Structure 1
């Protein structure tokens, strides 16, 4: 083969080679682009799928998150006025939160937070008073709040005046609670359960302290009577009863017995210290004088007259101080703090007699003369006849 032919062959080979390489390169690039497009489509689909999943998760989470936040911000509550009847007792010293728990426990409101929010919005958180209230089951908290107004309490306010006998107090308690008197009489006999002081010797007379009480129909008789004894304990502490009794040479029971006579016999508070002095003057004489108090005779006979008749003065009762020397066995009524203080600090004076000459106006006259005393008795009789 000559040179020309060789060149021709080489030239021909050179021209063909580049064309073949060019077609191969384009095919490879085309395949690469297709792969890239497929990868981009896959990536986009994956991205869309991921976004759908994320949005779904956020949506579910957001829903439950909203429900959780709503539950915290808007507590569970009933709707409407409720139905039926529920007696709810608010105890002394309970907070609004504790009352809310009681209402939830008894099915009145749906949640503590609903009630706390409602009573706070009404501005009545500090107005809750102990007592019993009538509500309904399944009430909206806002509807329950007005029913806890102290004016709607089922408790009865009972005022026990100074000087009532125990029998009279038990009748008042029976009327206030609707319980039979015999239940209170039975409870009154259990002095130990009532918390009576040892010097009371188990008897409640004189220790049922006169005051104003909140009386619940559900309260047990012994609880009510025990609260009166507790109130007496406070009065005894305020008047320094036990130490004062020692100072004047008497027992606490003797002081309380004298105080009960002072309470029963005094026409007014201003006379109490003088009446106490008459009693001491009679007891301290040598020999002691009979007290001769009509109030003690009436107590022994279970009567309420102001003056004893001649027949009544013949009574064999240990409370007949016209016939028996010294003090009666115990108090004849339940004295107040003024009578106790007057007994512990009697007035100074020589008096041995007193007569309430005008019972309507509470006028009592004092003297150490028997003759003057008799004149006062005549005055008393005239006034009684005129009345």
Structure 2
């Protein structure tokens, strides 16, 4: 006898209610059977295709990874803003690591998720992810180190950069003409005087424009530190004129401690009534494309606008790239009434100062004696 016959005999329950009760029983059986069926299907997969399922699960849980140090060389660039996941994709594509997942796991295990620095690195092919992480240390970045000395002129600075980086000097010369792209201050008339002397490290992929822009940035930082614009106004000169003075100080001085006095000599001559020619040998040398601070009488006749023996006032522009000491000296000249200075001892770079022409002549004699 089924439920329907019993209910009919008892006559105790309406038809609709009985139907609802049957549906609930079917739903309970379905909830019980669903996980059972899933288990049966999974068992069938593992049983019938267990090997392939194992491979899939193994790859998901333990990603492919090479072992050892790898072989050969691969150049890898990490660009600014790239994450460990971005770097992982690059390394997998270049076959440095077996899988991106292995690399990201190794980065996390080493605690270096935030320690991947932009730059160019030399790695190896088919190396373990852990070794790849170790070789991406910032100490292993490829870089070119260049020393730009204080007092070096723009033309020689560009040649030095070209030689150090292996890039054509013409590319540096072209880049030097784009003042806006380099970030030159508005008062600058060109790169001369504004390629700040320092030791630089450049990445191999750095372009000439980027290299020069970085040097101009260093100048701008130094100018801000020494208060160039405010100091120039206080002295009654433009910032560009102060850079010109600083470049002469840089070229003429043998020691940092003499720079403020040399700056004072320059200002004393400029402010003298009537104005006195600067007569700086270093400006004559610049006009002639030479280095030095002792011009011959014949050389001082050169009509170049940079020749301060020939023209009154400052030369047409800076004659070198001054360092921070020279900029500070130009902004903070020593107190004194000197009008002349002479490097009396070329061996020790000692410079002596004079307020009268008679004193100046004695210093010249001393120089001649020490030069024999």
| Structure 1 equivalent of residue 278 of structure 2 | 291
| Structure 2 equivalent of residue 194 of structure 1 | 182
1:198 is paired with a residue whose SS is coil
Change (3 A) 1:53 1:186: closer
RMSD over aligned Cα atoms: 3.0
What is the 5 A alignment of 1:259-298?
259-298=246-285
Which residue, 196, 204, 207 being the options, matches 1:220?
A: 207
2:142 is paired with a residue whose SS is coil
| Structure 1 equivalent of residue 153 of structure 2 | 165
Work out the number of aligned pairs and report it.
336
| Structure 2 equivalent of residue 88 of structure 1 | 76
Contact 2:193 2:322 survives alignment (8 Å): yes
- Could you tell me how far 1:75 is from its partner in structure 2? 3.0
What is the 5 A alignment of 1:174-193?
174-193=162-181
| Structure 2 equivalent of residue 346 of structure 1 | 333
2:151 is paired with a residue whose SS is coil
1:253 corresponds to 2:236: no
1:277 is paired with a residue whose SS is helix
2:174 is paired with a residue whose SS is helix
- Could you tell me how far 1:127 is from its partner in structure 2? 6.0
Which residue, 233, 241, 257 being the options, matches 2:228?
A: 241
Question: Over residues 112-131 of structure 1, what are the superposed CA-to-partner deviations in whole Å (9 max), with x where a residue is unaligned?
Answer: 44224435556766765443
1:334 corresponds to 2:334: no
1:231 corresponds to 2:218: yes
1:192 is paired with a residue whose SS is helix
**In 1, distance between residues paired with 2:367 and 2:38?**
108
Change (3 A) 1:65 1:344: farther
| Structure 1 equivalent of residue 310 of structure 2 | 323
2:371 is paired with a residue whose SS is helix
Question: Over residues 190-226 of structure 1, what are the superposed CA-to-partner deviations in whole Å (9 max), with x where a residue is unaligned?
Answer: 223222122112x111110112211233321111111
What is the 5 A alignment of 1:303-318?
303-318=290-305
Query: Which runs of 5 or more structure 1 residues have no equivalent in the other structure?
Result: 1-48
TM-score when normalising by structure 1: 0.77
| Structure 2 equivalent of residue 135 of structure 1 | 123
Residue range with higher mean Cα deviation, 337-346 or 146-155: 146-155
2:145 is paired with a residue whose SS is strand
| Structure 1 equivalent of residue 20 of structure 2 | none
**In 2, distance between residues paired with 1:50 and 1:92?**
52
**In 1, distance between residues paired with 2:115 and 2:352?**
50
| Structure 2 equivalent of residue 75 of structure 1 | 63
**In 2, distance between residues paired with 1:290 and 1:228?**
33
**In 2, distance between residues paired with 1:320 and 1:362?**
24
- Could you tell me how far 1:170 is from its partner in structure 2? 1.3
The structure where helix makes up a greater share of residues is: 1
**In 2, distance between residues paired with 1:129 and 1:167?**
33
Query: Which runs of 5 or more structure 2 residues have no equivalent in the other structure?
Result: 1-35
Contact 1:155 1:216 survives alignment (8 Å): yes
1:214 is paired with a residue whose SS is strand
Contact 1:115 1:142 survives alignment (8 Å): yes
**In 2, distance between residues paired with 1:53 and 1:244?**
86
